[in-house]
Structure 1
Amino acid sequence: MSDPSTATSPDVLRAHAEQQYAAELAALDVADDRPRPPSWRLSPWAVSLYVLGGQLPDGTAIEPKYIGSRRLVEIAIATLATDRALLLLGVPGTAKTWLGEHLAAAISGSSTLVVQGTAGTAEEALRYGWNYARLLADGPSRAAMVPSPVMRAMETGALVRVEELTRIPADVQDALISILSEKSLSVPELDEQVQAKPGFNVIATANNRDKGVNELSSALRRRVNTVVLPLPDTLEEEVEIVRGRVSAIGASLSLPPDLESLSEVQRVVQVFRELRSGVTTDRRTTVKSPTATLSTAEAISVLTNGVALAAHFGDGTVRAADVAAGLLGAVVKDPVQDRIVWQEYLETVVRDRREWNDLYRACRELG
């Protein structure tokens, strides 16, 4: 596998996907002899290889960007080759944004056309706005217009990402309906229409676990193909995902530990999976689940923090004491209800595992 740290620019904390994996994308472009949809930089087959990982005929290794169902990834890629938009749906931490970024990088060569959905997102973020100084001075004109990322994607035949679509107010979401159905955007102030070039499409992400969610209208749902991204199926799969991401993040932050043999990764992931599912791995003990999501992304955060503690305040080896505080912070979101759940899990599960005595003591010391 390629080393992510060698592909990341030292001048930025986190490079865009198309920058970080530029060498892989270039190698795929050379080796790709399959048909490419209009404006696509790679064929659907090559996009799938870039996302899921593999090896090219010349021996070039392609690092997996997403570990999960191959069929789901293929469905997502095929959707983007049609006239329907793609909606990546799932609970927080299932790599929706991560997958969307890499799909845009491989298909359009750029992942930077993004609308970040919030409760305050205005219609201008999906359509266009105005430079009011020029508007007042010269009146409506192309020069006074501020195109949205969606409009720029339409004009260039590229993919645009709309993050957290269900956080955008419903009346603003509806601005996408005519864009997705007619592939055009009217500008009545200029008596013009912007028509999408081949290659234009939308990758949206959404989850229904956060507060402030606005359900999609039936009209908008009919114009998207929904792909539900699940949590990792097995402990081993989730450990592999967490280890890879923490290693990449640690390299970008110049944190030294080698996580290939780090036992704490498996323990943190196992704790999260048991609390999520409400039963221990051996299926013998039922446990209560906290209000927190305890996603794969949160496990990555807990271990990254543990790596930082070990690197800066320890000997570089991550131990139970380095991850205990992160575990407590991830699990106990409700100071009353979740604390009871956590204490019961410590006393009924963690304490009885002799090989986990160090983790039990570290968590108890934190109260």
Structure 2
Amino acid sequence: MTVLRPHAEDQYAEELALLAKDDDRPRPPGWRLSPWAVTRYVLGDGDAISPKYIGPRRVVEVAVATLATDRALLLLGVPGTAKTWLSEHLAAAVSGDSTLLVQGTAGTAEEAVRYGWNYARLLAEGPSVDALTPSPVMRAMAEGRVARVEELTRMPSDVQDALITVLSEKTLPIPELNREVQAERGFNLIATANDRDRGVNELSSALRRRFNTVVLPVPATAEEEVEIVARRVAQLGRALELPETVTGMDEIRRVVTVFRELRAGVTEDGRTTVKSPSGTLSTAEAISVLTNGIALAAHFGDGVLRPSDVAAGIVGAVVQEPVSDRVVWREYLETVVRERGDWRDFYRACREVS
């Protein structure tokens, strides 16, 4: 069976094995690799190890060092800053398993963090170990692995607070059985949170103290963002087995430029102020627009990525609010895109779908 998206530890198994083979540096208890090798796995080495995250080295080093202590790690950032991507690869490199995951939503129940019950066995036998259904966090504690909690601030406050005892005492009480699960060495937790979700379910001060917070920045330069987008688009194209397509860097740069200018509210040269739409226009959305464009070029075009293949995706990403965002987009199109002589084909394509 060929899965659509392999887990990081499966997709990059060869790289992880190569690093483990040559890794003679000290490893924290329960870790598959040393902190130095984990960082090398995440950032790449320009040779046999491909980069998984493109950003400041110090950010990754601080994140890895946090996991080597008894404090949990909170990756904080705006949408599209690769929080989930980085958490998955950190878990894969540290404990060889990125699947111990709790997805935070408004409907996440406390059982997702602590434990639940097999109610058929519970009714038949009463509370017992066999009737217990461990959460991913409980399994990570028992096995000495890294657990992941995505979108922590989207979870209800009482569910968030279920983590306090886990993170402070490194134990999970099971009062129904008069016992507890104590964390094995190697256990830790990585949580992610969205900057724009502040105030949705703000973390309590007691819970926040249990985390070291690492803020993931947006790509500092256009070239850095272009590199990230080009690399991820190529990876997704291979994973989806899209037909071979000539992916012009010109179109990637245009998409990235549009998103960066609308995010910042000013053109690259700093001469023209533009209005920003309601959406985030993140790097992840740029990747999505270009991947969709490649699919259009491959299946309905001549196999060359052209402005007409990405125009509809850009408009769809920018115009989230039908009235206000459409005004923002049209203004940008007429005052910025139209004036760029080498963007005429892009301008015409966007006008057609707008």
TM range (shorter): over 0.9
What is the rounded CA distance, in whole Å, between the counterparts of 1:125 and 1:337 in structure 2? 39
CA contact (8 A) 2:247 2:294 kept: no
Task: Find 2:311's aligned residue among 324, 327, 336.
Answer: 324
Determine the structure 1 residue equivalent to 2:283. Answer: 296
Determine the structure 1 residue equivalent to 2:38. Answer: 47
Deviation at 1:262, TM superposition (A): 2.8
What is the rounded CA distance, in whole Å, between the counterparts of 1:231 and 1:36 in structure 2? 31
Q: TM-score, normalised by structure 1?
A: 0.95
- Counterpart of 2:21 in structure 1: which amino acid? V
CA contact (8 A) 1:262 1:318 kept: no
Deviation at 1:257, TM superposition (A): 4.0
Counterparts of 1:64-213 in structure 2 under 5 Å?
64-210=51-197, 213=200
Task: Find 2:341's aligned residue among 354, 357, 361.
Answer: 354
What is the rounded CA distance, in whole Å, between the counterparts of 2:197 and 2:234 in structure 1? 28
Counterparts of 1:263-282 in structure 2 under 5 Å?
263-282=250-269
CA contact (8 A) 1:18 1:25 kept: yes
What is the rounded CA distance, in whole Å, between the counterparts of 1:312 and 1:178 in structure 2? 53
What is the rounded CA distance, in whole Å, between the counterparts of 1:313 and 1:225 in structure 2? 48
Secondary structure of the structure 1 residue equivalent to 2:195: coil
CA contact (8 A) 1:119 1:212 kept: no
CA contact (8 A) 1:167 1:212 kept: no
CA contact (8 A) 1:34 1:43 kept: yes
- Judged with a 3 Å threshold, the aligned counterparts in structure 2 of structure 1 residues 131 and 41 are, in CA distance, closer, same or farther, namely same
Task: Find 2:223's aligned residue among 236, 259, 271.
Answer: 236
> Given the alignment of the two structures, is residue 36 of structure 1 paired with residue 27 of structure 2, yes or no?
yes
What is the rounded CA distance, in whole Å, between the counterparts of 2:237 and 2:287 in structure 1? 11
> Given the alignment of the two structures, is residue 305 of structure 1 paired with residue 296 of structure 2, yes or no?
no
Determine the structure 1 residue equivalent to 2:329. Answer: 342
What is the rounded CA distance, in whole Å, between the counterparts of 2:184 and 2:28 in structure 1? 12
Secondary structure of the structure 2 residue equivalent to 1:273: helix
Q: Which structure 2 residue ranges, 5 or more long, are not aligned?
A: none
Q: C-alpha offsets along residues 277-309 of structure 1, whole Å, 9 cap, x if unaligned?
A: 011111111111111100000000000010000
Deviation at 1:258, TM superposition (A): 5.0
> Given the alignment of the two structures, is residue 24 of structure 1 paired with residue 15 of structure 2, yes or no?
yes
Secondary structure of the structure 2 residue equivalent to 1:141: coil
Determine the structure 2 residue equivalent to 1:255. Answer: 242
Q: C-alpha offsets along residues 128-186 of structure 1, whole Å, 9 cap, x if unaligned?
A: 00000000101110000000000000000000000000000001100000100000000
CA contact (8 A) 1:119 1:168 kept: yes
- Judged with a 3 Å threshold, the aligned counterparts in structure 2 of structure 1 residues 173 and 259 are, in CA distance, closer, same or farther, namely farther
Give the length in aligned residue pairs.
354
Deviates more, 1:253-262 or 1:202-211: 253-262
Deviation at 1:213, TM superposition (A): 2.0
Q: TM-score, normalised by structure 2?
A: 0.98
Secondary structure of the structure 2 residue equivalent to 1:341: helix
- Judged with a 3 Å threshold, the aligned counterparts in structure 2 of structure 1 residues 84 and 150 are, in CA distance, closer, same or farther, namely same
What is the rounded CA distance, in whole Å, between the counterparts of 2:197 and 2:335 in structure 1? 30
Determine the structure 1 residue equivalent to 2:274. Answer: 287
Secondary structure of the structure 2 residue equivalent to 1:119: coil
CA contact (8 A) 1:170 1:214 kept: yes
CA contact (8 A) 1:126 1:175 kept: yes
Q: C-alpha offsets along residues 220-251 of structure 1, whole Å, 9 cap, x if unaligned?
A: 00000000101100000000000010101011
What is the rounded CA distance, in whole Å, between the counterparts of 1:12 and 1:18 in structure 2? 14
What is the rounded CA distance, in whole Å, between the counterparts of 1:278 and 1:207 in structure 2? 21
What is the rounded CA distance, in whole Å, between the counterparts of 1:101 and 1:179 in structure 2? 21
CA contact (8 A) 1:129 1:146 kept: yes
